């Protein structure tokens, strides 16, 4: 039986970002350069748990569909609403799509699946949230047979 589950995580999508390393007591320590990443990943995990995940981790192949929704900058609007020359797609100042995806994969490890290596098929996009709609990410997880 294929299990298909959909949920929306409210909040500004954050990128996995780059890692910074340093040594303490002869031990290497790695930390993310994105200070907001930890709370975003927690938010993703908590939303997944609130939507019924976390009882039995997926240990087989999954398809992951992601639609990251971000707010339009105020400069895209004029007196009459959305400007005619406003871009249709958020291609600047939002974050690299691959880094947004990595943050989701890691956030759902040990919550939905045993390891994000379980993702074998994926569709991901960045789009603008509708006017007055929340920023966040729509997530669809499909267990494959």
Considering the entire predicted model, what is its pTM? Answer: 0.85
Vertex 111 angle, CA 133 and 45, to 5°:
30
> Rounded distance, CA 29 to CA 27, Å?
6
Strands 62-70, 119-128: parallel, antiparallel or unpaired by DSSP?
Answer: parallel
Domain of residue 99 covers 4-143
pLDDT at 7 over 80: yes
State the greatest distance between any 2 C-alpha atoms of the chain, in Å, as a whole number: 61
Which tens digits make up the pLDDT trace of 8-56? Answer: 999 999 998 666 666 778 887 766 566 789 999 999 999 999 998 878 8
Number of domains in the chain: 1
CATH of residue 16's domain is 3.30.1330.70
pLDDT in tens, 43-98: 999 999 999 887 889 999 999 999 999 999 889 989 988 899 999 999 877 789 99
In sequence order, what are the residues at sequence separation of 6 or more whose Cβ sits closer than 8 angstroms to the Cβ of residue 129?
69, 70, 71, 72, 135, 136
């Amino acid at each position: 039986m294929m299990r298909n589950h959909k949920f929306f995580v409210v909040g500004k999508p954050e990128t996995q970002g780059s890692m910074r390393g340093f040594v303490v007591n002869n031990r290497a320590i790695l930390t993310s350069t994105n200070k907001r990443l930890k709370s975003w990943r927690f938010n993703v995990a908590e939303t997944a748990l609130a939507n019924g995940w976390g009882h039995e981790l997926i240990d087989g192949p999954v398809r992951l569909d992601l639609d990251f929704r971000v707010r339009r900058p105020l400069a895209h609007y004029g007196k009459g609403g959305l400007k005619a020359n406003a871009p249709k797609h958020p291609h600047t100042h939002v974050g690299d799509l691959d880094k947004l995806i990595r943050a989701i994969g890691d956030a759902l490890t040990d919550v939905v699946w045993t390891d994000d290596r379980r993702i074998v098929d994926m569709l991901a996009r960045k789009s603008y949230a509708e006017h007055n709609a929340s920023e966040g990410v729509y997530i669809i997880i499909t267990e494959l047979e």
